[in-house]
Amino acid sequence: MALILASNSPRRTEILTLAHIKHKVIPSTCQETIPDGLTLFEVVEHLSYQKALDVAKHYPNEVVLGADTVVAIEGKILGKPHDEKEAIWMLQSLSGKTHQVVTGITIIHQGQIKTFHEITEVEVMALSIEQILDYAQKEYIYDKAGSYAIQGSFCRYISKIVGDYYNVVGLPICRVYQELKEFEDEIQ
């Protein structure tokens, strides 16, 4: 059997493919909810668990991987922008500062559940409003947490990264690979 990726993210499937991890994509259709009072790390783990569980209940004998990535600065989660105004505000918030990209991962197989998270620190150079507007107008940023993609033209504004680059793209592949070793007999 193949690993099931409970996500419709093209970036996550590209990363798994790049790492030669066979998988099939069956996106979660659950309505994501976040209980009050959770920490940043608990939020991403909770969301990844919801996605994995939603798919695993239909495929109880398969290995299912759910993931959720957020951008956070000064304790505030920046999700995907709803409009250009919010995207510009997010990019201004990141300008000249270091933020965290946190991905929660849940792996479920036959009732066994592993949930963890990975953190990467990303430093963005100070940006002018002209740079921000130019970027926002030239790139499709509405499906990107924090309004940017490190693998796109925004890379020219990243002055430092501490941690897993692929975590910023959407899946901390080294950690995922290590955690999946436990299930290698189930994943062909």
pLDDT, residue 188, reads: 62
pLDDT, residue 169, reads: 95
Query: Which CATH number covers residue 172?
Result: 3.90.950.10
The residues annotated with a catalytic role in the active site are 68
- pLDDT tens track, the chain, 188 positions: 679 999 999 999 999 999 999 999 999 999 888 889 999 999 999 999 999 999 999 999 999 999 999 999 998 999 889 999 999 999 999 999 999 999 999 999 998 999 999 999 999 999 999 999 999 999 888 888 899 999 999 999 999 999 999 999 999 999 999 999 988 777 76
Report if residue 18 sits inside a domain: yes
C-alpha–C-alpha distance, residues 106 and 61, integer Å = 16
pLDDT, residue 92, reads: 97
pLDDT, residue 28, reads: 96
C-alpha–C-alpha distance, residues 19 and 169, integer Å = 14
Which residues span the domain enclosing 112? 3-183
Q: Is the dihedral of CA 43, 33, 150, 22 positive or negative?
A: positive
Report if residue 140 sits inside a domain: yes
Of 12, 15, 21, nearest in space to 63 by CA: 21
pLDDT, residue 97, reads: 98
pLDDT, residue 1, reads: 65
Report if residue 160 sits inside a domain: yes
Report if residue 188 sits inside a domain: no
C-alpha–C-alpha distance, residues 188 and 130, integer Å = 49
Close Cβ partners of 34 (under 8 Å, ≥ 6 residues apart): 43, 46, 47
pTM: 0.92
Report if residue 150 sits inside a domain: yes
pLDDT, residue 186, reads: 74
pLDDT, residue 127, reads: 97
Of 175, 73, 173, nearest in space to 121 by CA: 73
- Number of domains composing the chain: 1
